[in-house]
Amino acid sequence: GVMYGDVGHGTFLFLAGVAMCWNEKKTEQSLKGQGSEMEAVHAMRYMFMFMGFYAIYAGLIYNDCFSLGLDLFGSRWVFPNQDYGTVNEGDVATSVAEYGSNESVYPFGLDPVWHVSGNELLFFNSFKMKMSVIFGICQMFLGTVIKGL
């Protein structure tokens, strides 16, 4: 979910997982003893559901839906004398709030102005990689603690 953070694609994956969990008994009976690949997919139904859920969550953090930037809360930056979406190369954005005030902090996720910046790909890939490493270390630490109990 962390590297695959996308609200749109995550929704499809989540709904597919929910459908597999909803039809669990019927699917088990129809696949019984076949030894097909569908048995493996059926065994991973909860994984698909939670992968979709966390992809939606990460997509909200990245403000990303079907690889298009979301603008849920409006940007905290403006480009002088221009509408959002018509930014020319070299334009400089200015903050709409005073530095350090509560209005300068984006409520949830990343500010959509990153989707029109020149280093968008570099920033997002770096951010996703750092998040993946942090979550991976936390997951390994949690596994060590649980094994120690």
Q: How far apart are CA 53 and CA 2, in angstroms?
A: 11
Q: Where do the domains of the chain lie?
A: 1-70, 71-117, 119-149
0.95 exceeded by the pTM? no
CB-CB neighbours of 42 under 10 Å: 16
> What does the pLDDT look like over 15-36, one tens digit per residue?
999 999 998 888 777 777 776 7
> What does the pLDDT look like over 29-84, one tens digit per residue?
777 777 677 777 888 899 999 999 999 999 998 888 988 888 888 888 877 766 65
Which helix or strand (DSSP H or E) is residue 69 part of?
strand 68-69
